């Protein structure tokens, strides 16, 4: 598959994250399970994470994806704040 087209799962997770993190400047979701939707790697850069510890940022992402996570085997989360 080409790098520009997302799987249905990637598109769904991205959509949820865009809703939950409207101030995100970058969201990247990659299915790292070979396309079966069992494991994802997520990179989010958002102003909402400022002043929060990494564990709190990851909890926010887990909370946002609580429904989607039920059908996943694993999730790698990378969070950051936009550079000033």
pLDDT, tens digit, 9 for 90 and up, residues 4-50: 578 889 999 999 999 999 999 999 999 999 878 899 999 999 999 99
Listed in sequence order, the residues at least 6 apart from 22 whose beta carbon sits closer than 8 Å to its beta carbon are: none
- The helix (H) or strand (E) run that includes residue 67 is helix 66-69
Evaluate whether the domain defined by 8-80 bears CATH number 3.40.640.10: no
Rounded to two decimals, what is the model's pTM? 0.88
Give dist(CA 1, CA 11) in Å, integer: 14
27 CB-side CA count, 13 A:
21
Give dist(CA 52, CA 29) in Å, integer: 22
Q: Provide the residue ranges of all domains of the chain, joining segments of one domain with +.
A: 8-80
Higher pLDDT, 43 or 84: 43
């Amino acid at each position: 598959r080409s790098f520009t087209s997302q799987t249905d799962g990637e598109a769904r997770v991205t959509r949820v994250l865009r809703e939950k993190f409207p101030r995100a400047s970058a969201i990247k979701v990659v299915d790292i399970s070979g396309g079966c939707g069992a494991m994802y790697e997520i990179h989010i850069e958002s102003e909402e994470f400022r002043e929060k510890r990494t564990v709190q940022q990851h909890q926010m992402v887990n909370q946002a994806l609580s429904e989607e996570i039920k059908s996943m085997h694993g999730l790698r989360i990378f969070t950051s704040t936009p550079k000033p």
